[in-house]
């Protein structure tokens, strides 16, 4: 009797399964990401068990997004950038591009509010040559370019960045030397003798624009007229010492955070105090001493 009952149960199971197909119901489908299944069924090109994580990551990057978007999404999802690329690629494969776009917008908004993750210029995919082109287009220094690019990324403004680079390079296409002022501007950005802070102080002293000050300083660098350059900077420093509005803040100087941290360790002060002290040294032309101190420390490492 027990054998008959088992055979009967098996037969009933088989009949029930067969009825599923008879009445047109499709069998259940395995969802790659069960916590976020794609609505509306399986999209064309949906991921299968044979699609690797690398394929999914490539799908994301080939769909118009960039590495920095993965960084920001990773902060939003609590994942690293690689996991974010794979997860986003899976969403695209399942036909959830619109949903992903909404999530990218939310992730950028969260990052702009100081939460989640931001993408640094070093991770942005733009080169130092791009930064130099943008510095000319936006009339700022390299540090300013990096900050602006990082901010624009959080608005998805890659097109405006790319257009500025193309415009600057296109304007000099076929004219590698450019005109005299353009060569002077390039010399300003390439020099380790002057930076944004010097141009800011000179603008105050001579009542001209930052761009004009950069060109003025650049001409002196280009012509290697360093004695006259120092005389000009002395005038700018004297003006800034008596006019606080012409002085530089930390954001204006040609140093980075790690420089301030290293100087703080050498001097035995806080990083914020080091930043303030470095900015003040521009008033007396002693910022070069800071650079030499940093160079000595790095040679000892």
CB 94 within 8 A of CB 42: yes
Alpha helices, DSSP H, located in the chain: 2-22, 53-61, 67-77, 81-93, 97-112, 128-138, 142-153, 158-171, 180-190, 196-206, 210-222, 226-242, 257-267, 271-281, 287-300
Tokens 């098996």, residue located: 10
DSSP string spanning 62-103?
A: TTT--HHHHHHHHHHHTS-HHHHHHHHHHHHHTT-HHHHHHH
Q: Where are the domains of the chain?
A: 53-112, 121-171, 180-246, 250-300
Find the angle CA(230)-CA(140)-CA(104) to the nearest 5 degrees: 155
pLDDT given for residue 179 in this prediction? 61
Along the 301 residues of the chain, how does pLDDT read in single tens digits?
444 444 444 444 443 444 333 333 333 333 334 344 333 333 434 444 567 888 888 888 888 888 899 999 999 999 888 889 999 999 999 998 889 998 999 999 899 888 888 888 888 888 888 888 898 888 888 888 999 999 999 988 888 888 888 887 764 433 333 467 777 887 888 888 898 999 999 999 998 888 888 888 988 888 888 888 999 999 999 999 999 999 999 988 988 888 999 999 999 999 999 999 999 999 999 998 998 898 888 777 6
Using CA atoms of 207, 213, 227, 183 in order, give the dihedral in degrees to the nearest 10: -150
Tokens 């005038």, residue located: 235
What is this structure's pTM? 0.45
């Amino acid at each position: 009797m027990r054998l008959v009952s088992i055979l009967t149960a098996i037969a009933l199971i088989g009949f029930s399964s067969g009825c599923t197909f008879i009445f047109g119901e499709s069998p259940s489908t395995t969802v790659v990401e069960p916590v976020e299944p794609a609505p509306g069924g399986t999209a064309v090109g949906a991921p299968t068990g044979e699609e690797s994580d690398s394929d999914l990551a490539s799908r994301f990057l080939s769909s118009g997004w960039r590495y920095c978007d993965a960084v920001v999404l990773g902060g939003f999802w609590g994942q690293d950038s690689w996991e974010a690329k794979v997860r986003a690629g899976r969403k695209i494969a399942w036909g959830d591009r619109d949903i992903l776009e909404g999530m990218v917008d939310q992730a950028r908004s969260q990052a702009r509010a100081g939460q989640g993750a931001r993408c640094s210029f070093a991770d942005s995919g733009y080169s130092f040559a791009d930064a130099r082109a943008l510095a000319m287009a936006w009339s700022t220094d390299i540090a300013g370019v990096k900050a602006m690019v990082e901010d624009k990324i959080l608005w998805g403004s890659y097109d405006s960045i790319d257009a500025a680079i193309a415009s600057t390079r296109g304007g000099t296409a076929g004219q590698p030397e450019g005109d005299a002022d353009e060569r002077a501007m390039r010399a300003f950005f390439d020099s380790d003798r002057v930076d944004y802070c010097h141009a800011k102080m000179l603008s105050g002293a001579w009542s001209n624009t930052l761009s004009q000050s950069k060109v003025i300083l650049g001409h002196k660098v280009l012509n290697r007229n360093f004695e006259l350059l120092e005389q000009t900077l002395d005038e700018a420093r004297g003006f800034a010492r008596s006019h606080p509005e012409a002085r530089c803040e930390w954001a204006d100087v040609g140093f980075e955070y790690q420089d301030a941290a290293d100087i703080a360790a050498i001097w035995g002060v806080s990083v914020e105090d080091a930043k303030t002290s470095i900015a003040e040294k521009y008033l007396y032309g002693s910022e070069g001493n800071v650079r030499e101190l940093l160079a000595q420390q790095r040679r000892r490492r």
